[in-house]
Amino acid sequence: MSFIWPLTLWLFAVVAVLPFGYAWLLRRRKRALKFSNLGLVREAVGGRPSLRRHLPPVLFFLAIALMVLGLARPTAVVTLPSERTTIILTIDVSASMRARDVEPNRIVAAQQAARAFIESQPRNIRIGIVTFSGNAMISQVPTTNREDILAAIENLRLQRRTAVGSGIVASLQAIFPEMAGEFSLSSLEPKAAALGDRGDATPPVPPVPPGSYESAVIVLLTDGRTNAGVAPIDAAHMAADRGVRVFTVGFGAPTGGSSETDGGGFMRMQLDEEALKAIADITKAKYFNAQSSKDLEEIYKGLGAQFVAETKRTELTALIAIPALVLLVAAILLSLLWSNRLT
């Protein structure tokens, strides 16, 4: 536990003095007591007083201590339900995904992992599917209909070339359909050129801190390196300006290699791991490497658990203020009740 205002903790010294002040008041009252009846005489000469008379002050002291603790604004890292409502699975469908270095081949392994990921998500989470090869397209707009999402996964079709950056841009269009014009090739041009001489052009949306958009996230899977479309780093900056995190998964060995394809030939593959790490770093996300179908399934499973519940530093002031208020009210009511002031 840590505190936002730790300097206020010195007030605990005052709280520690309160019981001694209470004891001093009791002794003073005892000395000044006038023996008006036998019960008071017994109490004055050492008879055991009722313990319940001390309960309201004890509750009061505890309430004050909790208030001081709350005043310091304590924080702790706790696990909370995620506020995320949309997940975009962005999948590479370039020809290299036919490689059979993963059984039965890379694209089938990716489909199996994606299905398991989708089925593990809460029903209120909207999931969209974006595919990219030489260009990118939204194969399924974000929806809670699991049948439509799984159908989009089943219908993946492989094509030539790889455009990782275009996949990110299409994912942003899926997340912000009302701002689709912001996420295009033109949005990468200098603002003056984009606006031209039009004085009535709509000004661009101001950027937000990277990673600050909590409602959506992109999970991008690729096994190659970009040779078409938008530059991945430019696309990553677009996502960062909107606060969207892009978790990247590199499918294959970082050193590259060749593998047999379904057609019986061999294909050379080279994973651009540095670009994927840079995308994740720019957008305040993480990079993962999967070299087998099991690796991929474990990565998706871990991401799924993270998206359902997140660990974050949270202020606990409200959780402390509530019991402090309850103790304070209880102390006041018990004091009034046992002193017959409520009758």
Q: Indicate whether 198 belongs to any domain.
A: no
* Per-residue pLDDT at 321 exceeds 80: yes
Which pLDDT belongs to residue 61? Answer: 84
DSSP secondary structure, 73-99, as one string? -EEEEEEEE----EEEEEEE-BGGGG-
**Higher-confidence residue: 131 or 196?**
131
Query: Which residue, 276, 291, 306, sits at the end of a domain?
Result: 291
Alpha carbon distance 12, 273 (integer Å): 53
Same domain, yes or no, for 59 and 102? no
The whole-model pTM stands at 0.66
Residue partners of 265: CB distance under 8 A and separation at least 6: none
Alpha carbon distance 186, 335 (integer Å): 72
pLDDT tens for residues 250-273?
998 776 656 555 565 666 667 889
Q: Indicate whether 142 belongs to any domain.
A: yes
Nearest residue to 123 (alpha-carbon basis) of 143, 101, 94, 151: 143
Which pLDDT belongs to residue 217? Answer: 94
What are the phi and psi torsion angles at 263 (to 5°)?
-85, 0
Q: Indicate whether 125 belongs to any domain.
A: yes
86: left (phi over 0), alpha (psi -120 to 50) or beta: beta
* Per-residue pLDDT at 330 exceeds 70: yes
Alpha carbon distance 260, 194 (integer Å): 45
Q: Indicate whether 308 belongs to any domain.
A: no
Query: Which residue, 291, 306, 330, sits at the end of a domain?
Result: 291
Same domain, yes or no, for 87 and 59? no
* Per-residue pLDDT at 1 exceeds 60: yes
Same domain, yes or no, for 169 and 257? yes
Same domain, yes or no, for 64 and 139? no
Alpha carbon distance 89, 176 (integer Å): 15
Same domain, yes or no, for 59 and 170? no
Q: At what angle do helices 55-71 and 317-338 cross, to 10 degrees?
A: 160
> Residue 9: exposed, middle, or buried by beta-carbon count in 10 A (0-12, 13-18, 19+)?
middle
**Higher-confidence residue: 306 or 318?**
318
Which pLDDT belongs to residue 186? Answer: 53
pLDDT tens for residues 224-251?
889 988 999 999 999 999 999 999 999 9
Same domain, yes or no, for 39 and 174? no
Q: Give the dihedral sign, CA 323/326/327/328.
A: positive
* Per-residue pLDDT at 137 exceeds 90: yes
Same domain, yes or no, for 116 and 143? yes
Out of 41-45, 193-197, 273-277, 294-298, pick the least confident. 193-197
| pLDDT confidence band for 174 (50 / 70 / 90) | very high
Nearest residue to 144 (alpha-carbon basis) of 119, 167, 178, 110: 119
Same domain, yes or no, for 95 and 50? no
Average pLDDT over residues 49-62: 77
Out of 135-139, 155-159, 301-305, 337-341, pick the least confident. 337-341
CA distances from 148 to 132, 158, 227, 304, 308 (A): 19, 20, 31, 19, 21
Q: Indicate whether 10 belongs to any domain.
A: yes
Same domain, yes or no, for 212 and 232? yes
Q: Indicate whether 300 belongs to any domain.
A: no
Same domain, yes or no, for 256 and 319? no
Please report, rounded to a whole number, the percentage of residues in the chain having pLDDT higher than 70.
76
Amino acid letter for position 152: A
Which CATH number goes with the domain that contains 282? 3.40.50.410
| pLDDT confidence band for 169 (50 / 70 / 90) | very high
Mean pLDDT of the chain: 81
Alpha carbon distance 86, 144 (integer Å): 9
Alpha carbon distance 150, 241 (integer Å): 31
Which pLDDT belongs to residue 48? Answer: 47
Q: Residue 27's domain spans which residues?
A: 2-76+315-338
**Higher-confidence residue: 166 or 337?**
166
Same domain, yes or no, for 265 and 324? no
What's the half-sphere exposure (Cβ side, CA atoms, 13 Å) at 115?
15
Nearest residue to 263 (alpha-carbon basis) of 99, 94, 93, 92: 99
Domain total of the chain:
2
pLDDT tens for residues 63-111?
888 888 888 888 877 665 556 689 999 999 998 888 887 888 899 999 9
Q: Indicate whether 301 belongs to any domain.
A: no
Q: Indicate whether 179 belongs to any domain.
A: yes
Same domain, yes or no, for 266 and 171? yes
Alpha carbon distance 327, 125 (integer Å): 40
Which pLDDT belongs to residue 163? Answer: 94
225 contacts 278 by C-beta, under 8 angstroms: no
* Per-residue pLDDT at 199 exceeds 60: no
**In the numeric block, which tokens belong to residue 228?**
């078409």
